[in-house]
Amino acid sequence: MPMNRRGFLRASALALAAGTIGVAAPQAAAQGRILGTVIDYAAGVPSAAAIRGAGHLGAVRYVSQRRPGTENWMLGKPVTLAETVSLAQYGLQTASVYQFGRAETADWLRGAAGALEHAPQAIALHVAAGGPKGRPIYIAIDDNPTRAQYENQIRPYLQAFSAALHAAGYQTGVYGNYHVIEWCTQDGIGEFFWMHDWGSGGRIHPRTTIHQLPREDQRVIDGVKVDINNVYASDWGQWTPHVPHVPVPPVPPAPEVSTDQLTQLLNLLRTASSL
């Protein structure tokens, strides 16, 4: 049964107060070597066949809506059940990420209050796309923040978002640069880490689950520009859609045809063919 908003916020607050953030669930283990590649995209949705043909393992997809001003080009948001089912049919898997704002509208700017609004939206879209419980939703910190920004806004945002995810039965992923991942690991926030290069100084954090390659490594698949990500953990937060079983109605039996009726039908066919 879905949790109402008051119950959701209460459970999140209790989890936050109890300190059950990023410590109860098993953490993804980076292997130290590249195990394959996955893609992420927002401008459109390439076909699963084309993604498979390009040799990727799957895609990290947005469980967030298009922000104002991007309605006409950010056509790959949000992920849909039809898309994840199609990916699964080609042996590909999906991971979830939440990012609505960016730059001056960055999600983390509102701190914990923003997270308690965003987390239910992320979970609802994850579920609508067939996403199961027990899997992470990556929370995007698409910036190169200062330590003060992390302490005053990003850390409270991630803690509240993570508490809400854990209260609802999900794990936490963090999308950020080297410093954000390092600070999160020190604070016990997150089980999965998706690293971008902005401000990372060419380093890859040892806890990196997946690493988004620089913009010059972007590719076009099926007419859609995509980011390429190296995978460093066998568990990168992937899932296949949970589709409720719908019973197939029985096929009604064919009506019985007598010998006389069959003879009459054959005679009619012979007459028609001779015309």
**Which has more confidence, 117 or 68?**
117
Question: For residue 270, what pLDDT is reported?
Answer: 60
The amino acid at 237: G
Residue with tokens 């945002």: 157
Check: CB of residue 42 under 8 Å from CB of residue 76: yes
The model's pTM is: 0.81
Residue with tokens 């948001």: 77
Domain limits at 59?
A: 5-249
Helix or strand (DSSP H, E) at 82: helix 81-89
Q: Is residue 245 part of a domain?
A: yes
pLDDT at 104 over 60: yes
pLDDT tens-digit map of 223-257:
999 999 999 999 999 999 986 544 444 545 545 54
- Cα–Cα distances in Å, from 258 out to 252, 253, 269, 270? 19, 15, 17, 19
Q: Is residue 262 part of a domain?
A: no
Residue 196: closest CA among 218, 209, 183, 214 = 214
Question: For residue 267, what pLDDT is reported?
Answer: 62
Q: Is residue 268 part of a domain?
A: no
Check: CB of residue 63 under 8 Å from CB of residue 126: yes
Quick one: tokens of 87?
Answer: 């990916």
Q: Is residue 175 part of a domain?
A: yes
**Which has more confidence, 27 or 43?**
43
Give me the CATH number covering residue 46: 3.20.20.80
Check: CB of residue 162 under 8 Å from CB of residue 116: no
pLDDT at 123 over 70: yes
Q: What's the total number of domains in the chain?
A: 1
Cα gap 31→228, rounded to integer Å: 18
